[in-house]
Chain A
């Protein structure tokens, strides 16, 4: 038990929690925008892969780091455009389209990798984002270490605030929330259901891709095919966990990241020698499922989630 307490009070643990939570927060915000507008985006896993690849490749080709972020976002938005074109005006099954986009995006990344680096055996490294030195804050004893984070992490948390502000404080957010609840209400007020939903999916997909790019540009310095590793699916669960609210979803992401950071450290304790390591790997997922069951009971699901809207149909 003491080992766990020692872990929980160490600054390096919390630094890791914030680092692990960042890509989850970015992608969760993306998914949340899509679902608030009434579209389930199961393309998230593949869009994170393409974002991770595109951002890394752009930087490897000589772009600055923020240029890599922009390229990743553009790649994500492109797949968002594909997803929303099929699901919104054509009204196709959001499950099938989403899984299709995931497969297409993942294999596109693989194809482009082989095409651009045919001779390479191990993926080249880039110089990733470095922890930002914040005057004053970074010199504080415990907090300074916990908050020693890259600019992209700060951006992720700022993005969550921005999404919350957009949803609850602007006319645009009002329209997004309404279109996920009752598209007929939006149409009757003279707004375009198609425009709002496609816009939400494209913007959301851009955020997911930046979440993927965080992995290559901030967390690691290279690209591996298995690096996204189910994080996209976790983000879909986090949206439910957060009851479609940005603030609660951020808390969910931090909670999951804490489980993840904890299990890595637990493996190095005497407990880790006694139990098989797979158990530790499964721990965050098991705890997340439990939290999901407890938290999402009373959630208000957007009423028109996964319901295509066909104008003028009787």
Chain B
């Protein structure tokens, strides 16, 4: 921001190519970074951003191309060399040891293994955390820290090693809007001191807010490089997705009767994950209920209650105004609750089963067997219906599901969910837990439009997502979860992202309790 085009080039990636089997994750990607600037690396999930940075940092070895830091070539596949050259990386999945303290995590690997260690570490960490506004206690166990605090430790780790180039991989994915602002303030301090930053993101407003320049990746290729001053969100979005697609937005609609009601439901805490705290929630016919919040604030507990995987410790579940009895996953399915699980690989499918077997997992006893014998012909026809109806790209129903891309796997799970329900008239309640996480933009648009279509047919959809844009675009009514507490419902368009952010951070709950 401060020094512009004339400043020295600190980092140069030259025609990096990386293949994983048949997939070309990076295709001749080049990038330069100058002193004191923030370059955003923008692209959809799977565009190759993280792969590129892992090559830069030495976690992967590129098949072709070279990396140069401060004029010196970096040897490939060597994180230590990258660190010594002044490259610091904050990974999307933090690389911290939870059993060690903040200070220990920062010191790790900075001293000779056989030396006594030097005493100045604590003072240096304290100075850095003051200078860059990264408040965190040096003696706290990392395992007990919040996600935002862990990120600060990661940044401190890089700064402690005198990093001159900071790479941040999707740093805001796990933060509340307020925490993101604090992060941006830190980055501004860093660039003012002459550091350079690569900021990986797929969130346009963040890129516009923090970056000087923006490199857009699509399918592993650089499709554009623009100054953020000279562009706008729309142009960037078009570059990112290729301009062919726009995400669906649901139009407002009058809600119907309450299909399911949770009445002051509480569940016990599970380790660091909070349980539900007197949650009362109405799920209405013909309505999409959005559940916003940073993950790990009780969303999983709520999803388990609705899906029948767990029973409330206190409170009741009512279906059409009648308390449920014998609540279990089977009962939930029989009563018309369809589920799109959060983790499609581990909860939603069995990797080595073929598509037919995966398609009938929820109904093989009720609909696809007679007197204990499987009716494979009907099962296969059912799978073929889903494959055709939901555009699952695959060689055929006998393909093992592990070979499908995330998007196609999710389409099969979506089709399976939509085909369930009483007398197969379609599900009444659809529990969609992070339904588009990790999907490419085409699959996202498809899954979201199907959820809207289900709502228009009169189903009640509960959409759990960490992505505020998704929540605000689709939901008729929005609740926020924080520390297991549920906010009141906010009708479409009555809340800004910043206001929801305050709820996500838990600040508004105190107000309500006091009032």
Contact = CB atoms under 8 A, between A and B. Distances in A.
Contacts of B98: 181-182, 303
Given A174-B108, A181-B97, A312 B61 contact: yes
A188 B83 CA distance: 9
Interface in A292-314: 300, 302-303, 311-312, 314
A181 B157 CA distance: 17
Given A175-B108, A186-B108, A303 B99 contact: yes
B100 interface: yes
B79 A174 contact: no
B192 to A, nearest CB: 26
Interface in B114-129: 114-117
A19 interface: no
A269 to B, nearest CB: 46
A171 interface: yes
Interface in B94-122: 95-100, 104-105, 107-117
A231 B54 CA distance: 45
A311 B114 contact: no
Interface string B278-295: 000000000000000000
A174 B114 contact: no
Interface string A166-206: 00001110110110011011111111000000000000000
Interface centre among B77, B79, B111, B114 (most CB of A within 10 A): B79
A185 B113 contact: no
A258 B54 CA distance: 54
Interface of A: 170-172, 174-175, 177-178, 181-182, 184-191, 300, 302-303, 311-312, 314
A311 B59 contact: yes
A178 B59 contact: no
Given A171-B111, A191-B108, A311-B59, A178 B100 contact: yes
B83 A185 contact: no
B79 A187 contact: yes
A170 B112 CA distance: 10
B496 to A, nearest CB: 37
A184 B95 contact: yes
Interface centre among B60, B82, B95 (most CB of A within 10 A): B95
A170 B117 contact: yes
Nearest to B113: A172
Interface in B312-327: none
B105 A185 contact: yes
Interface centre among A178, A186, A188 (most CB of B within 10 A): A188
A178 B113 contact: no
Given A187-B59, A314-B20, A175 B95 contact: no
Contacts of B84: 190
A178 B108 contact: yes
A54 to B, nearest CB: 28
A184 B107 CA distance: 15
A189 B83 contact: yes
Nearest to A191: B109
B113 A175 contact: yes
Interface centre among A174, A177, A191 (most CB of B within 10 A): A174
A182 B91 contact: no
B89 interface: yes
A284 B114 CA distance: 39
15 contacts: A171-B111, A171-B112, A178-B104, A178-B105, A181-B97, A182-B97, A186-B109, A188-B79, A189-B83, A189-B108, A190-B80, A191-B80, A191-B109, A312-B61, A314-B20
Interface in B197-229: none
B99 A300 contact: yes
Contacts of B89: 188
A190 B61 contact: no
Nearest to A168: B104
A190 B83 contact: yes
A314 B50 CA distance: 11
Contacts of A191: 80, 108-109, 113
A170 B116 contact: yes
Given A171-B108, A178-B105, 6 more contacts: A175-B108, A175-B113, A178-B104, A184-B93, A185-B97, A190-B84
Nearest to B116: A170
Contact of A190 (B100, B105, B109, B115): B109
Nearest to A176: B113
B91 A174 contact: no
B171 to A, nearest CB: 15
A244 B113 CA distance: 21
Given A172-B114, A311-B59, A185 B79 contact: no
A172 B83 CA distance: 19
A61 to B, nearest CB: 34
A166 to B, nearest CB: 10
A302 B95 contact: no
Given A181-B97, A184-B95, A303-B99, A174 B60 contact: no
B91 A188 contact: yes
Nearest to A178: B97
Contact of A181 (B61, B100, B111): B100
A175 B105 CA distance: 9
CB-based closest 8 A-B pairs: A189-B109, A190-B80, A188-B95, A181-B97, A178-B97, A172-B113, A185-B95, A171-B111
A312 B100 contact: no
B96 A185 contact: yes
Contacts of B20: 314
Given A185-B96, A188-B79, A302-B99, A174 B59 contact: no
Nearest to A189: B109
B96 A182 contact: yes
A310 to B, nearest CB: 11
Contact of B59 (A170, A186, A312): A312
Contacts of A300: 99
Nearest to A302: B99
Contacts of B100: 174, 177-178, 181
Given A190-B83, A312-B59, A312-B60, A174 B95 contact: no
A178 B79 CA distance: 17
